[in-house]
Structure 1
Amino acid sequence: MSSASRLPSSGLTANKPAVSHRAYVTLVTNADYAMGALALARSIKLAGAEADIVVLHTGGVDASVLTPLSDLGCRLVQTELLDTCDAFNERHARGRLHANAPFTKGRKPAFHSPLDNFCKLRLWQLTEYQSCVFIDADALVLRNIDKLFDYPEFAAAPNVYETLKDFHRLNSGVFVARPSAETFGSMLKMLDQPDTFWRRTDQTFLQTFFHDWHGLPVTMNMLQYVWFNLPDLWDWKQIGVLHYQYEKPWEKDHPRSAELKPLIDLWHAFHTGDNIPDIASLANPTESAVA
């Protein structure tokens, strides 16, 4: 590993230079998401991606849990939290935010820290890249999705996991962006206005900032709850990205673990790199029910 170097963009330090002009980017804020990022990075490589894999990581991540990501060839970029005011930070702290905007459809794990989500915006500081595809660390890439780099900014899939009425809301677990210092500056000006409250943190902010966002197919950010809520939408042969929203596959005996066992088993295969199945051969939920 080369020595760390301060990037021209304030608040970022990289462990090595960029190699490609394109990058898959994820965010790691603790040891749990480092586990997720390892499975994600392995899945990206196995899909034959031709781009850098960048792991933004905050000060809350111990260097030892990042070593496997470095060994896999990821570019590690340490990021500071955004310089938001105390009042903003208080409004978006875990307890305060979840009290004002409780999750009613699923359970967020205890290690989830909403304020960290805004570090996703640091992607726009990665101006050494022409195009980036951001993917949450609790996701897997199941087939090559390099074509997304040619999509316009800002492109994201809808937040569909319970009803087709959710097509009007984006999910920020996967999105296409063009790094730009100018865009990043405009974001900061809009983000931390007096009394602003972003109900779903970065997700609400990005949909507001990019109000004319471009829609990606749901297959590019297939949310795990589709498995039991909208099973007819699920087709393993079409899914590009599987996103484990709400409960995480590495949590033991979480409330949905029995319902989501095939998806959880798949994540563990990618995490270890052992016995990864042929995705196209997997049974869809409707077929599983028949079996």
Structure 2
Amino acid sequence: MDYPSEAYVTVLNSSETYVCGAITLAQGIIQTNTTKDLVLLVDKAKTEKSRGALQIARWKIKNIYRFRNPHEKKNAYNEWNSSKLCVWQLTEYGKIIFIVSDVIILRNINKFFAFPQLSNMIK
């Protein structure tokens, strides 16, 4: 199977408060002159206003069904983090760089697409 596409991906599966972070993340990536797709996985709770702002920021929005971690207490910080596993459903991409939405990208990081599968980079 041929996978020509590569993408930067983030997930918004909780409150609206992370929308601004996702917009900032997109702008940082775009300013590095990348040609990679920007894919945002969102649950149905995001408002149309937020979705519109995210699309203007150049995110390709894909809907996900969020699911809670059965081992977390209700309203815990990590209650919905299991939804990040939906990234594995993006089979149309050959490689993905997953970035949480509260990160700021200051320089081009396309070189990380050349790393072997299941790499992890923390700095």
- Please indicate the TM-score interval, normalised by the length of the shorter structure: 0.7 to 0.9
Runs of 5+ in structure 1 lacking a partner? 1-19, 98-112, 159-217, 219-291
Picking from 49, 60, 72, the partner of 1:92 is: 72
Amino acid at match of 2:85: L
* Residue 25 (structure 1) aligns with: 9
Residues 131-170 of structure 1: pairs in structure 2 closer than 5 A: 131-158=95-122
2:91 to 107, 116, 127: 127
Cα drift, residue 25 of structure 1? 0.2
TM-score (norm 1): 0.38
Q: Deviations over 1:41-85 (max 9, x none)?
A: 011000111200001111222121121111122100110024x7x
Alignment partner of 2:50: what SS?
A: helix
SS of equivalent to 1:119: helix
Whose helix fraction is larger, Structure 1's or Structure 2's?
1
1:156 counterpart SS class: coil
Is 1:60 the counterpart of 2:7 in the alignment?
A: no
What does the per-residue CA deviation read over 1:93-114, in whole Å, with 9 as the maximum and x for residues that have no partner?
355x6xxxxxxxxxxxxxxx41
Pick the structure with greater CA Rg: 1
Alpha-carbon separation, structure 1, partners of 2:112 and 2:121: 12
Which structure has more relative contact order (CA 8 Å, sep 6+)? It is 2
1:40 positional shift: 0.4
3-state DSSP of counterpart to 1:120: helix
Q: Distance in 2 between matches of 1:38 and 1:72?
A: 6
RMSD: 1.8
Residue 116 of structure 1 and its aligned partner are, at CA, apart by: 1.8
Aligned equivalents of 1:139 and 1:146: distance in 2?
16
Q: Which residue of 2 aligns with 1:80?
A: 65
**Partner secondary structure for residue 120 of structure 2:** strand
**Stretches of 4+ aligned residues off by more than 4 angstroms:** none
Aligned length: 119
TM-score of the two chains, using structure 2 as the length reference? 0.86
Secondary structure, aligned partner of 1:81: coil
Taking the aligned partners of 1:121 and 1:81, their CA distance within structure 2 comes to 10
Q: Work out whether 1:118 is the aligned partner of 2:82.
A: yes
User: For 1:25, what is the secondary structure of its paired residue?
Assistant: strand
State the distance in 2 between where 1:114 and 1:136 align: 13
Question: What residue identity is the alignment partner of 1:42?
Answer: Q
Please give the per-residue CA displacement for 1:6-30, whole angstroms capped at 9, x wherever unaligned: xxxxxxxxxxxxxx70110011122
Q: Is the 8 A contact 2:18 2:102 kept in 1?
A: yes
Q: Structure 1: which amino acid aligns with 2:37?
A: D
CA distance in 2, matches of 1:154, 1:116: 22
